[in-house]
Amino acid sequence: MKPTASRPVARGFTLVEVLVALLILAVVAAMSWQGVDAIMRSREVAQGKLERQLRLQSAMAQWEADLFAATNTQVVPKPIAFDGTSVRITRRSPEGVQVVVWALHGDTLTRWVSPAATRTNALSQTWLQSLQLLGNEPSQLRVVTGVAGWQMYFWQNNAWANAQSDADREQQGGTSGTNPSGVPVVQIPPDAVRLVLTFADGSGFAGSLRRDVRTPFR
C-alpha cells in the first residue's frame, strides 16, 4: 500500500492575535475620529466667525442707511442726538418720517424703528416715546452682541468733537424754540458722524471698529 500524503492542517488566529488586531483597529479609529472631530470643530468656528462678520457688516450698512436718510424736521430737538446710551435719528421713509433708535444694552447693540409719522404732533409724540424705551420691547432688534462700549463724534467746524460735549454744541450754534407739542427744538445737524465700537474679549472681534459717515446736512 502506498502511504497516504498528510494534508496540511489549517491554522487559525489565536485569541491573543485577535485581541491585538482589535486593539490596533480601535487605536486607528480613535485617531481618525479625533481628526474628523478637529475638522468639524474648525469648521464650526470658521462658520461662526463668518456669521458674526456678516452680521456686523449688515449692521453697519443699516447704520449708514439711517444716517444717509436723516432729515431735519424742525420738530424734534435734533435730527441726530446721542446721550451716551442711545442714538436717535429722524429719517425719511416713503410713508413719512421715522424715529430710529440705536442703543447699547449690556453688550448688545439694538435698533428700534417707529411707525412713520406724517403730522407734526405725531412725530413729537414718537420722539417722546423713543426716550422711554427700556430695551426689552418686542420691536427691539438685536443687531450685534459682544460690544463692550461705544462712542460718538460729530464733525463740525472742520473738527471732530465728542457728541455729548456741551461746549461743542455751543460752538456749533443753531436755532432754538418750541414746537406745538412743547418739545424744545435745537437744530444742530452735524456734517458727519463717527461711530467707534469697542468689542469685549471673547466676542469674536478684535479691538475696535471705527466708521465715519457723512450726513445729508454736509
Note the pLDDT of residue 4: 55
145-156: per-residue pLDDT in tens?
899 999 999 998
57-115: per-residue pLDDT in tens?
999 999 999 999 999 988 888 899 998 889 999 999 999 999 999 999 989 999 999 99
Domain limits, the chain: 49-214
List residues bridging with 152 in a β-sheet.
195
Residue 28 — pLDDT band, cuts 50, 70, 90? confident
Note the pLDDT of residue 12: 65
- The total of other beta-carbon atoms located within 10 Å of residue 135's CB is 16
Residue 11 — pLDDT band, cuts 50, 70, 90? low
- The total of other beta-carbon atoms located within 10 Å of residue 202's CB is 7
List residues bridging with 97 in a β-sheet.
92, 117
Alpha-carbon radius of gyration of the chain:
32
170-214: per-residue pLDDT in tens?
444 444 444 555 554 455 689 999 999 999 888 778 788 999 999
Residue 3 — pLDDT band, cuts 50, 70, 90? low
